[in-house]
């Protein structure tokens, strides 16, 4: 994707390519897996094919350990699921339109449901490391929006998207059917890549945040803008800064996510079966 190409047109073009490479008429559900979640894909359903996204000209490719530049096509509960085994982030130097490209292409390829997962620091004092938490809402502190810039082309919804029910209450209820113990929390999205200071975590807690991370918010906005239903799930990989004496380390975050990935994959499979 080059800067001169309209991001909506590029998403539509890449949607055609994704369908062609997977030899399917359309996809139904998109899943974006966060840091260390790759093995979750194995527990979602039956793999049909794998797409190397690096082979698509200009597709933004993840550079962070724990994120793979590929997507897997999985059949689960009669739905064609497009599972991205990684994502790109603002902190990799990517613009918002590139951060949301996979999500926009998925919606163009037919997905009416977009499931966004991430590794997050736990701010809520009741959260345990290894616990999945449904995102009930977010506080976007990245200072960026995928809808900034030229207005969406004709035929697309306008740029002033309503985010009142951004994280679908219906999908959250279905996820709780699949795993009744699931907690819900507010996700604060920061630009990163550094972790927060303890003072920032105290500020976020006072502002009503339960979780903190460096992804998801822009993708959720882009998916909702195009009319998809969005579910967000954070895996608590560490207590947020200042809430534990241990220093924060990306390797520990990825290992904590890997340790819970199979449980999360089953949760995703159970949810998709209910859609």
| φ, ψ at 212 (rounded to 5°) | -140, 140
In whole angstroms, give the CA distance from residue 65 to residue 275. Answer: 32
Residue (56 or 233) nearer to ligand HPA, CB: 233
Catalytic one of 70, 71, 89, 102: 89
Place of tokens 């995928």: 146
Catalytic one of 68, 215, 234, 260: 215
In whole angstroms, give the CA distance from residue 127 to residue 145. Answer: 29
H helices within the chain, ranges in order? 7-22, 96-99, 101-108, 169-178, 198-206, 217-225, 250-274
Minimum distance of ligand HPA from residue 50's CB (angstroms) = 26
In whole angstroms, give the CA distance from residue 38 to residue 83. Answer: 9
* Residue 240 a catalytic site member: no
Residue (244 or 262) nearer to ligand HPA, CB: 244
Half-sphere exposure of 211 (CA within 13 A, CB side): 32
Minimum distance of ligand HPA from residue 233's CB (angstroms) = 13
In whole angstroms, give the CA distance from residue 59 to residue 49. Answer: 19
Q: Which of 235, 246, 41, 221 is nearest to 114 (CA)?
A: 221
Minimum distance of ligand HPA from residue 33's CB (angstroms) = 14
Catalytic one of 43, 178, 250, 259: 250
* Residue 250 a catalytic site member: yes
Cα distances (Å, whole numbers) of residue 229 to 2, 58, 113, 115: 28, 27, 5, 8
Render the burial of 76-107: b for 16+ CB within 10 Å, e for the rest.
bbebbbbbbbbbbbbbbebbbbbbbbbbbbbb
Residue (11 or 253) nearer to ligand HPA, CB: 253
* Residue 89 a catalytic site member: yes
Residue (33 or 174) nearer to ligand HPA, CB: 33
Residue (85 or 212) nearer to ligand HPA, CB: 212
Q: Which residues bind ligand HPA (CB under 6 A)?
A: 119-121, 195-196, 212-214, 237-238, 240, 248, 253
Minimum distance of ligand HPA from residue 143's CB (angstroms) = 16
Q: Mind giving me the DSSP string for 46-69? A: EEEEEEEGGGSTT-----STT--S
Minimum distance of ligand HPA from residue 258's CB (angstroms) = 13
* Residue 67 a catalytic site member: yes
* Residue 195 a catalytic site member: no
In whole angstroms, give the CA distance from residue 20 to residue 1. Answer: 19
Question: Closest CB to ligand HPA belongs to which residue?
Answer: 121
Catalytic one of 8, 12, 43, 92: 92
* Residue 91 a catalytic site member: yes
Minimum distance of ligand HPA from residue 120's CB (angstroms) = 5
Residue (108 or 196) nearer to ligand HPA, CB: 196
Q: Which residues are catalytic?
A: 35, 67, 89, 91-92, 119, 214-215, 238, 250
């Amino acid at each position: 994707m080059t800067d001169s190409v309209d991001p909506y047109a590029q998403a539509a073009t890449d949607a055609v390519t994704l369908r062609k490479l997977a030899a399917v008429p359309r996809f139904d559900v998109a899943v974006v897996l966060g840091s260390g979640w790759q093995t979750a894909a194995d527990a979602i359903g039956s793999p049909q094919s794998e797409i190397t996204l690096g082979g698509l000209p200009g597709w933004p490719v993840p550079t962070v350990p724990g994120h793979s530049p590929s997507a897997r096509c999985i059949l689960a509960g009669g739905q064609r699921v497009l599972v991205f085994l990684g994502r790109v982030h603002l902190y990799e130097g990517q613009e918002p339109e590139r951060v949301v490209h996979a999500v926009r292409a998925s919606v163009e390829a037919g997905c009416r449901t977009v499931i966004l997962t991430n590794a997050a620091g736990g701010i809520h004092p009741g959260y345990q490391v290894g616990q999945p938490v449904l995102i009930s809402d977010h506080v976007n502190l990245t200072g960026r929006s995928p809808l900034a810039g030229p207005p969406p082309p004709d035929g697309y919804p306008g740029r002033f998207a309503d985010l009142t029910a951004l994280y679908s209450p219906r999908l959250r209820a279905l996820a709780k059917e699949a795993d009744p113990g699931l907690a819900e929390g507010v996700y604060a999205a920061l630009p990163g890549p550094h972790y927060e200071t303890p003072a920032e975590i105290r500020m976020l807690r006072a502002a009503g945040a339960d979780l903190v991370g460096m992804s998801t918010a822009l993708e959720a906005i882009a998916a909702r803008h195009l009319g998809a239903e969005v579910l967000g799930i954070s895996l608590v990989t560490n207590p947020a800064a200042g809430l534990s004496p241990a220093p924060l380390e990306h390797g520990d975050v990825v290992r904590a996510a890997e340790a819970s990935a199979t449980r999360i994959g089953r949760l995703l499979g159970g949810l998709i079966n209910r859609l």
